[in-house]
Structure 1
Amino acid sequence: MRDVYDRNREEQVFDAGDRVYLSTQNLDPKHSGLPNSTKFGPKWIGPYTILRKIHNHAYELNIQAGNKLHPVFNTGSLKPYKEPSRLSRPHNVILADSTVGQLVRRLLGKRRQKQRTQFLVEWVGEEKPTWEPVENLK
């Protein structure tokens, strides 16, 4: 049974000094400093720094003194922290007709919302594709 469960699952491995988010799914709101309602609270809090590895599936986090939480958590409650990229817009380039624009790598999809057509555009120099109205692509 274990091999069937683990077939498509990667084991999360962190090192000391890595930053992670902590799931609020099993945290008591009274002790974590979250709003009283778990429905309207965040799903992940942090980022926290990993202080040390306890064993393969547990890590000690740098929890603030105000939180009444035990600092050791299972890897199932942790998610790697990714630095937000500040370069969210593609680079401007000078096009052949001497106007300024952005380079499109490829179009990934098309949708229609409220009588407006949008394309899923993968930009050159951009990580994530964005939905753009057809007027922006002319």
Structure 2
Amino acid sequence: MLKTNLLVAQNRMKAQADKHRREKVFEVGDLVYLKLVPYQLQSLAAHAYHKLHPRFYGPYEVLERIGSVAYKLKLPTDSKIHHVFHVSCLKKHLGPGVSPLTVLPVVTEDGLKSLEPMSILQRRVYKKGKGAEVQLLVHWKGSKENDATWEDYDELTKKFPDFPL
């Protein structure tokens, strides 16, 4: 009696939870966008504003279905990210045009995002407590000039001592 009541309750909870879920199925050759978790791919050189980074990369072609919830994607040859992803990390590409929105971030062998400053676009001084802090607008290699970020001068000199400021 107790066991059957428990099974009935479990089935009822599963039915309620499944109302909000939808099954994602992709065919071989479909184009999908890839969602990467930004805070897992950041190194010390990356900035803390991961909420402003792109959420999806791609579109990339589905090469193979692995099991019921994993897919192998055709990523660029120079990417150091594993090619198999869970279905929850993928979003179907809709529309006729195929133009990559963003390229995959360059990742080191440690799995960390590698960024190098390319140039300093601007300099600003702001008041912090009783002193003044200097920040630099840094244009990063492999990114657009519009994606430049403000970085503290002291932090930048620690991370990149050879970079001319």
- For 2:26 and 2:14, the matched residues in 1 are separated by 22
Q: 2:15 — aligned with what?
A: 3
Selected match of 1:65 from 39, 59, 77: 77
Q: 2:57 — aligned with what?
A: 45
Q: Which runs of 5+ in 1 are unaligned?
A: 86-138
TM-score by length of 1: 0.51
Q: 2:158 — aligned with what?
A: none
2:33 alignment partner AA: Y
Q: Does structure 2 retain, via aligned residues, the 8 Å contact 1:24–1:43?
A: yes
2:37 alignment partner AA: Q
Instruction: Confirm whether residue 29 of structure 1 aligns to residue 41 of structure 2.
Output: yes
Q: Does structure 1 retain, via aligned residues, the 8 Å contact 2:38–2:50?
A: no
Instruction: Confirm whether residue 18 of structure 1 aligns to residue 30 of structure 2.
Output: yes
- For 2:60 and 2:87, the matched residues in 1 are separated by 13
| Compared CA separation, residues 56 and 44, structure 1 to 2 (3 A) | same
Taking every aligned residue pair, what percent have the same amino acid on both sides? 34
Q: Does structure 2 retain, via aligned residues, the 8 Å contact 1:24–1:44?
A: yes
Q: Which runs of 5+ in 2 are unaligned?
A: 1-12, 98-165
1:49 alignment partner AA: E
Per-residue deviation, 1:26: 5.8
1:82 alignment partner AA: L
Per-residue deviation, 1:84: 5.7
Q: Does structure 2 retain, via aligned residues, the 8 Å contact 1:29–1:38?
A: no
| Compared CA separation, residues 2 and 66, structure 1 to 2 (3 A) | farther
- For 1:21 and 1:2, the matched residues in 2 are separated by 29
- Considering fraction of residues, name the structure with more helix: 2
**Does the residue aligned with 2:51 lie in a helix, a strand or coil?**
coil
**Does the residue aligned with 1:15 lie in a helix, a strand or coil?**
coil
- For 1:71 and 1:84, the matched residues in 2 are separated by 24
Instruction: Confirm whether residue 79 of structure 1 aligns to residue 113 of structure 2.
Output: no
**Count of equivalent residues:** 82
Per-residue deviation, 1:60: 0.3
| More RCO (CA 8 Å, sep 6+) | 2
**Does the residue aligned with 2:58 lie in a helix, a strand or coil?**
strand
